[in-house]
Amino acid sequence: MNDYLVLRVVTKLLMPFILLFALYVQFHGDFGPGGGFQAGVIFASGFILYALIFGVENAESILPDGILRSGMAGGVLLYAGVGIVSLLMGGNFLDYSVLQHDPVHGQHLGISVIEFGVGTTVACVMITVFYTFARWKG
Amino acid sequence: MDIVGLYNYWIVIFLMMAGFYVVIARGNLIKKLVGLNVFQASVFVLYISMGKVTGGTAPIIAEGITNYSNPLPHVLILTAIVVGVATTALGLALVVRIRQAYGTIEEDEIHKLDDDS
Amino acid sequence: MITEHFPALQIVIPLIAAPLCILLRWRNVPFGIALVATWSAFIISCLLLGQVMDQGIISYELGGWAAPWGIEYRIDAANAMVLLIVSGIGSVVVPYTRNSMLLEYIHERHYMFYSAYLLCLTGLMGVAITGDAFNLFVFLEISSLSSYVLISLGFDRRALTAAYQYLVLGTIGATFIVIGIGLLYHATGSLNMLDISQRLEINGYDRTVVAAFAFITVGTLLKLALFPLHLWLPDAYTYAPSSVSAFLAATATKVAVYVLLRFFFTIFGAEFSFETLPSGPPLMALAIIAMFTGSFVAIFQENIKRMLAYSSVAQIGYMILGVSLVTVNGVAATVLHLFNHALIKGGLFLAMGCIYFRISSHHIDNFAGLGRRMPLTMAAFVVGGLSLIGVPLTAGFISKWQFVLAALDRDLWWVAALLMMSSLLAVVYVWRVVEQAYFRSPPAGSEAVTEAPTSLLIPTWVLVGANIYFGIETELPLTVSRMAARALLGTQ
């Protein structure tokens, strides 16, 4: 592992930027191109890069299976939860306009929370898929 | 009839048939999945090229932009891509399990093993 | 107040329950969640059917976006019927899963099973409820992906290859459908089913629409396993775990038939599908071939579960035959048979699961003497078999009778005769099992076999009992299927 000095250093340098870019794509999604799917995949690719260079065991110590599994489920629940909240506040399912007094603010809030849910689920699923195949000793 | 001007459809048809052929003709389970992916990719191209408006820019609201591409097919195909990723992951996982159970990923060998047992 | 949100809740309750199963994965909590979610979905679908019968079409705009732009859930009698079938079977099968062998086998991951099961239910109900063509594709893939997982959980290693084969063919089918939807969007600029059909009527049907029709037809026929596109079905149903076979056999192909009905009649319109394009005769021919080959191959199966799977291929033939008649009676018979066949096959596969639970085999030789040793299970199998044949006083008889009437309506007496003949083939394969179970004594020295546990018998008998109930009390399914056919064909 110590042989690949260049790879290790470059990975360490790139990691924060990849994750930061993922967050940018995530939270900029309601103004410009971006959103949960893309952000989730970029975030996951940062981790997969880390796992490729430093080994799956090290990556697992940061994001263990339990957290990933909860993240997968939690993201979907967040999405559906927003829908239920908008139901309870008198709108239709996923009608963000009722979330706040001003419909425009409501739409902003709704789409941001939903995309965050999507991003969480996508990132966790992608990392889990990678772990599952990488750990396979068949 | 403008044959060259519709080149995007030729690409779609070529990819579609190439992928479909690989799915049918190859006995290796991984190669079949590769063919399936090419087949699905042809649909992505079909949708995305459908949304293109001549001279249109990216569909972001900014000053002075009146002509922009149709974003809806792009959004639709984003969903289809995610479905494709899920299908591929599941398919590969099944192939790994098949390899564990049978010791091979060649279709005819698997059939032979099934017939023997 | 809450009733107006039923269409959304119908889908959202199982959708929320699926990740909850993963989060709360201790002991029996996932089972409890699945039980509550499926039964509440069932109750909601009953209430929705009531609403549709009282007030007509229900429309629900997701996110408050108006119909042609946003996703609309649009429920008429046809959707409501399919929702009732799917959620009904889904809720009856859940208690059965608790004690079936499946959970001992995947023991520490049972929460994943319930999660996949609920997602499959969500997908199937979503296909049935949505009024948006692309949304239909998304739900179709949700249900398909989870059903591949469920099938691969089977005990035999051939379950894996069956799931793989289904995955490849199912994906091709779904991709064909999505190509067709894309071409329709190209031609009309809309994804809302109602809007597409109205725009098609105004703009006319050009070659793009014909291509879309071809892709969608082949895609759905692959999904619903009409002969000769049925190759994935026998393996998938044979090697899947018992409860999964019962659930999928009773719902998955039914939903695909519904998709075909929706595209043929609502979106393209009967005139374009059957008069402009000659789809009727080829569909009828394939349906009749399916009826005979399915039943004929079933007769020679040693594996009883495989026999039931081939019988499903034949039964799908009946349904498509009803579609190809293009009359209110024919389509009504198809919708009715969707309902009745779900009860028949659900009951039979559950009975099969009870037998497998005790003797760990699907082979016909091991059925010898079971009639005396597992009287309740075998009685359920026999009643289900009688309904499959179409003996009077069972649900199967009612739908066969409707098919015959619909065929005679069109003066197709030979079709009616063929229908009767293929029912005779069903007598042969059901009789083989009956003979083995009741008139052969068990081989000497075989282990003692006792009746299946009550927790398996109750769901089985609920479905089998429904066969008898709906064979006598025919008014409700007949009225609803007639309403559904009128809604689909657009005649009031």
Q: What CATH number is associated with residue B8? A: 1.10.287.3510
Which residue among A37, A132, A138 sits closest to B99, beta carbon to beta carbon? A138
Looking at residues A30-45, what average pLDDT do you find? 84
Residue C142 has pLDDT above 70, yes or no: yes
Number of structural domains (chain B) is 1
Q: Do A33 and B60 touch (CB under 8 A)?
A: yes
Looking at residues C282-295, what average pLDDT do you find? 91
> Which residues of chain A are within 8 Å of residue C60 when distances are taken between CB atoms?
92-93
Distance CA(C143)–CA(C148), nearest Å, equals 9
Looking at residues B90-102, what average pLDDT do you find? 91
Residue A53 has pLDDT above 60, yes or no: yes
pLDDT category of residue C1 using cuts at 50, 70 and 90: low
| HEC string for chain C | CCHHHHHHHHHHHHHHHHHHHHHCCCCCHHHHHHHHHHHHHHHHHHHHHHHHHHHCCEEEEHHHCCCCCCCEEEECHHHHHHHHHHHHHHHHHHHHHHHCHHHHHHHHHHHHHHHHHHHHHHHHHHHHHECEHHHHHHHHHHHHHHHHHHHHCCCCCHHHHHHHHHHHHHHHHHHHHHHHHHHHHHHHCCCEHHHHHHHHHHHCCCHHHHHHHHHHHHHHHHHHCCCCCCCHHHHHHHHCCHHHHHHHHHHHHHHHHHHHHHHHHHHCCHHHHHHHCCCHHHHHHHHHHHHHHHHHHHHCCCEHHHHHHHHHHHHHHHHHHHHHCCCHHHHHHHHHHHHHHHHHHHHHHHHHHHHHHHHCCCEHHHHCCHHHHCHHHHHHHHHHHHHHHCCCCCHHHHHHHHHHHHHHHCCCHHHHHHHHHHHHHHHHHHHHHHHHHHHCCCCCCCCCCCCCCHHHHHHHHHHHHHHHHHHHCCHHHHHHHHHHHHHHHCCC
Looking at residues A10-19, what average pLDDT do you find? 91
Which residue among A32, A37, A136 sits closest to B78, beta carbon to beta carbon? A37
> What distance in Å separates residue B40's CA from the closest CA in chain C?
7
Looking at residues C189-214, what average pLDDT do you find? 88
Average pLDDT taken over every residue of chain C: 87
| Assigned domain for B57 exists | no
- What is the per-residue pLDDT across C65-108, written as a single tens digit (0 to 9) for each? 777 888 888 888 888 999 999 999 999 998 888 777 666 666 67
Lowest-confidence pick of C55-59, C355-359, C361-365? C361-365
On whether any CB of chain C is under 8 Å from the CB of B46, the answer is yes
- What is the per-residue pLDDT across C299-347, written as a single tens digit (0 to 9) for each? 888 888 899 999 999 999 999 999 988 888 889 999 999 999 999 999 9
Residue C10 has pLDDT above 80, yes or no: yes
Residue C259 has pLDDT above 90, yes or no: yes
pLDDT of amino acid C369:
77
Residues on chain B bordering chain A, Cβ-to-Cβ distance under 8 angstroms: 58, 60, 78, 82, 89, 92-93, 96, 99-100
| Assigned domain for B34 exists | yes
Residue B63 has pLDDT above 80, yes or no: no
Which residue among C141, C164, C185 sits closest to B29, beta carbon to beta carbon? C164
pLDDT of amino acid C445:
64
Rg of chain C over all Cα atoms, to the nearest angstrom = 21
| Assigned domain for B38 exists | yes
Distance CA(C22)–CA(C113), nearest Å, equals 10
Q: Do B60 and A133 touch (CB under 8 A)?
A: no
Which sign does the torsion angle of CA C140, C146, C149, C154 carry?
Answer: negative
Residue C491 has pLDDT above 90, yes or no: no
| Assigned domain for B16 exists | yes
Mutate which of B90, B100, B102, B109 to disrupt the C interface (most C C-beta within 10 Å)? Answer: B90
> Which residues of chain A are within 8 Å of residue C130 when distances are taken between CB atoms?
none
Domain range for B26 is 4-52+65-116
Number of structural domains (chain A) is 1
Other CB atoms closer than 10 Å to residue B98's CB: what's the count?
22
Looking at residues C260-289, what average pLDDT do you find? 88
pLDDT of amino acid C337:
92
| Assigned domain for B92 exists | yes
Which residue among A70, A80, A83 sits closest to C23, beta carbon to beta carbon? A70
pLDDT category of residue C441 using cuts at 50, 70 and 90: confident
pLDDT of amino acid C105:
67
- What is the per-residue pLDDT across C343-359, written as a single tens digit (0 to 9) for each? 999 999 999 888 888 88
Looking at residues C6-20, what average pLDDT do you find? 88
Residues above pLDDT 90, as percent of chain C = 32
Residues on chain C bordering chain A, Cβ-to-Cβ distance under 8 angstroms: 5, 8-9, 12, 15-16, 18-20, 22-23, 60-64
pLDDT of amino acid C104:
63
pLDDT of amino acid A138:
60
pLDDT category of residue B1 using cuts at 50, 70 and 90: low
pLDDT of amino acid B115:
82
Residue showing tokens 């993922």: A22
| CA distance readout (Å), C239 to C151, C152, C155, C296, C388 | 7, 8, 7, 21, 22
On whether any CB of chain B is under 8 Å from the CB of A137, the answer is no
Q: Do B92 and A32 touch (CB under 8 A)?
A: no
What per-residue string of b and e applies to C391-404 under the rule 16 or more CB within 10 Å gives b? beebbbbbbbbbbb
User: Nearest chain A Cα to C9, which residue?
Assistant: A93
Q: Do B46 and C182 touch (CB under 8 A)?
A: yes
> What distance in Å separates residue B114's CA from the closest CA in chain C?
8
Token pair belonging to C480: 């609803």
- Say what the ipTM of the complex is: 0.92
Token pair belonging to C289: 């071939």
Amino acid (1-letter code) at residue C240: A
Residue C186 has pLDDT above 80, yes or no: yes
Looking at residues C260-286, what average pLDDT do you find? 88
* Residues 6+ away with beta carbon under 8 Å from B31: B22
Looking at residues A130-137, what average pLDDT do you find? 85
User: Nearest chain B Cα to C181, which residue?
Assistant: B47
| Assigned domain for B59 exists | no
Residue A17 has pLDDT above 60, yes or no: yes
pLDDT category of residue B111 using cuts at 50, 70 and 90: confident
> Which residues of chain B are within 8 Å of residue A133 when distances are taken between CB atoms?
92-93, 96
Q: Which chains touch C (3 or more CB pairs under 8 A)?
A: A, B
Which residue among C141, C161, C172 sits closest to B98, beta carbon to beta carbon? C161
Domain range for A35 is 5-134
> Which residues of chain A are within 8 Å of residue B99 when distances are taken between CB atoms?
138
Instruction: Measure the N-to-C terminal CA separation of chain B; round to a whole number of Å.
Output: 58
Which residue among B23, B43, B80 sits closest to C168, beta carbon to beta carbon? B23
